[in-house]
Amino acid sequence: MNRPPMRLFGLLALSALLSLIVGCEAWSHAPTPIPTKNLGLNGQSLYESQCAVCHGMNGEGYKAELATQLSNPNFLAGASDRYLFEATAIGRLPSKMGPWSAKYAGNLTDAQITAIARYMRHWQTLPALDIDKEKVAGAAEQGARLYAANCAVCHGDKGQGHAGDVPANTGISLNTPGFLQVASDGFIRYTIAKGRLPTQMESWEGKLTPQEINDLTSYIRSWDK
């Protein structure tokens, strides 16, 4: 009389056990990554899921070694929309900042990168400048001397950057094709002059003359191949 229900119970128990085993099997594998194209076009959620791990939830930077402060006032004032887009799209190999554009084997579409760039703008506190077209003609040989004396301690003797071996003297690379291709003369000059306080990149305009800042800009430019 109670046989059929018992058998049913047995079957149910077996299938529960099986699904448990199958479930465990699935858990033992890494979760399948969500294809980024399915993440949509919300700049904030894209930023938070793809970038915050290194640059911080609020763009405060340095969650990973050398991952700059993207919410920095002087950075956002000097960086054009083009800069934000291209710096993200092309990346900074060989640093940890790889290319993000699908064009360079990254996993974001151009529309997604544009959405993230727009999101980064909401941190901006200083008026945007229009400096991308400024050409700087300095004396690169003078710049080399000034660079060795003032900048190499953090950015490396050839602009290769320091990977934090001296934690107090840490600077990102300046000689990567990703940086030189994207940064205009005007952007480099402005960054040296104003710095990126409160990071370790101080403002040099009180310590160096405008001509010396031009010389440094031309020297950094001379790494462009």
Near ligand HEC in 2-31, by CB under 6 A = none
Would you say how long the chain is, in residues?
225
Among 6, 8, 53, 166, binds ligand HEC (CB under 6 A): 53
The distance of closest approach from Cβ of residue 54 to ligand HEC in the complex, given in angstroms and rounded to an integer, is 3
Token code pair at residue 72: 């920095």
CB-based contact 96:65 (threshold 8 Å): yes
- Taking every pair of Cα atoms in the chain, the longest distance, rounded to a whole number of angstroms, is 101
* Residue in 191, 192, 193, 156 with CA at minimum distance from that of residue 171: 156
Q: Among 36, 45, 48, 54, which residue interacts with ligand HEC (rule: CB under 6 A)?
A: 54
Could you tell me which of 172, 139, 177, 138 has the C-alpha nearest to residue 156? 172
Chosen residue from 59, 71, 87, 194 binding ligand HEC by CB under 6 A: 87
Contact characters 93-132, ligand HEC, x per CB under 6 A: --xxx--x---------------x----------------
Smallest gap, in angstroms, from Cβ of residue 29 to ligand HEC?
A: 23
Contacts of 214 (CB under 8 A, 6+ apart): 136, 137, 138, 189
Q: For residue 190, how many C-alpha atoms fall within 13 Å in the half-sphere facing its CB?
A: 21
Q: Does 159 bind ligand HEC (CB under 6 A)?
A: no
**Does 68 contact ligand HEC by CB under 6 A?**
yes
CB 178 within 8 A of CB 185: no
Nearer to ligand HEC by C-beta: 13 or 64? 64
Please tell me whether residue 90 binds ligand HEC under the rule CB under 6 A: no
Contact assessment for residue 77 and residue 127, using Cβ atoms and an 8 Å cutoff: yes
Least distance in angstroms from the C-beta of 103 to ligand HEC: 14
Q: Which residues bind ligand HEC (CB under 6 A)?
A: 50-51, 53-55, 61, 64, 66-70, 72, 75, 84, 87-88, 92, 95-97, 100, 116, 150-151, 153-155, 161, 169-174, 176, 179, 188, 191-192, 196, 199-201, 204, 216
